[in-house]
Amino acid sequence: MTAFSQREPQFGDIVTAYAGKLMPDVQMHTFSHTHEIFPTRTIKAGDTVSALPYAATPLSDMPIQANGKSYDLFDYVSQNRLVGLLAIKDGHIVHEYYDQGIGPDTRWMSMSMAKSVSTTLVGAAIKDGFINSVDDQLVKYLPELSGSGYDGVSIKHLLQMTSGVKWDDTHTVAESERRTMLDLQVGQKPGEIMKFMASLPRIAEPGTVWNYSTGETHVVGALVKAATGKWLSDYCSETMWSRLGMQADAAWWLESPDGLEVAGSGICANLHDYARLGLFALNGGVIDGESVVPEGWFTEATEPRMAGSDPLNYGYMWWPVPDRDGNFKEGAFSARGIFGQYIYVNPSRGIVLTVLSCRSKPKFSEAILDNDFFNAAVDALS
């Protein structure tokens, strides 16, 4: 009889991970330890942890209508490869679940959920007087972009990803700009990503076309650093993380040791603290009675708009979430990242849903659309 021994978990190559080419055990270990793969800067928590009390009656199941079929919560968790799920209603936890060995202290990667944090820091910089307005020209704060495709682009265009600058964000295509940016991140040379962004051509007039670009969030991070004089992690800690009663410090990937944060995908934190970010957004950016962002910021940052003559279901790097009828009367929105990371916020119903996943491919590998789960949860919790 052959003896089998359990092999130790190993890290996968991050480029291979982005391409969706890791086996599940290696992918799990990689996604829960990305803060050990890249250099990071600490987002410091405060001294006091805010309680997230448990509801007297937890939510154990719900019907989910998706793809013309009926599912339940067990289907959603198992078929969509969730590793963490936290549902909060009116400030109380109604459902909490962990899988595949992760737990309350696991620092799970945010992927593009970090984009929503980065743009919120632009709002904080406006409130603090470091930035005058989203209508300011980007080159006012980043003169190194003068003469580039970003010359003539406003901060608002940048936040909406309507700069008109060329970009392909396809993770699984090695020749895409997104993979080039990842290669530069892996190379860990300071300033190389911004040089790459400055080299890209403009292919449309600013404000006329939406084009999803992780590179533009890196420019957002450079903007906040230039305007405030503070690293993104430090400013995030100062304005939000240390004041929200976070359970733990978080980590933010760096482009190089002592370089800029990777603003578009680099936060690593635990499930409860991601949920606290959702509660912060649900409360309109108010902490202890004081607004961190300008009045009405979260409404502006999370509502559908137009890009030229086309409707755009995208805010300031937040995603408005339609209800099951396809309209936006609920005012719900989400931060979301590849491989199935979500913070869903529904202020009108007092609901925050946090989903951490380990799906086989960056996009479109879910069996049940997450928006269908969110709407089912709203029905069940309301």
Which alpha helices (H) appear in 22-175, and where do they start and end? 24-31, 34-37, 73-79, 113-127, 155-160
Beta-bridged to residue 93, according to DSSP, are 54, 88
42/232 Cα distance (integer angstroms): 10
Tell me whether residue 171 is in a domain. yes
22/82 Cα distance (integer angstroms): 16
Structure confidence at residue 6 as a pLDDT band (50, 70, 90): low
What's the token pair of residue 8?
Answer: 């130790």
Q: What is the pLDDT of residues 49-72, one digit of tens each?
A: 999 999 999 999 999 999 999 999
Tell me whether residue 151 is in a domain. yes
* Residue 379 scores a pLDDT above 70: yes
pLDDT of residue 5: 46
pLDDT of residue 11: 85
Tell me whether residue 3 is in a domain. no
Number of separate domains in the chain? 1
Tell me whether residue 14 is in a domain. no
Tell me whether residue 8 is in a domain. no
pLDDT of residue 7: 54
Tell me whether residue 291 is in a domain. yes
pLDDT of residue 147: 98
pLDDT of residue 2: 45
Tell me whether residue 88 is in a domain. yes
Tokens 């305007």 correspond to: 227
Mean pLDDT along residues 303-316: 94
What CATH number is given to the structural domain containing 143? Answer: 3.40.710.10
What b/e sequence results for 256-284 when a residue is b if at least 16 CB atoms lie within 10 Å of its CB, and e otherwise? beebbbbbbbbbbbbbbbbbbbbbbbbbe
Supply the pTM of this predicted model: 0.96
Host domain of residue 102: 22-381
Tell me whether residue 72 is in a domain. yes
* Structural contact between residues 193 and 261, judged by C-beta atoms closer than 8 angstroms: no
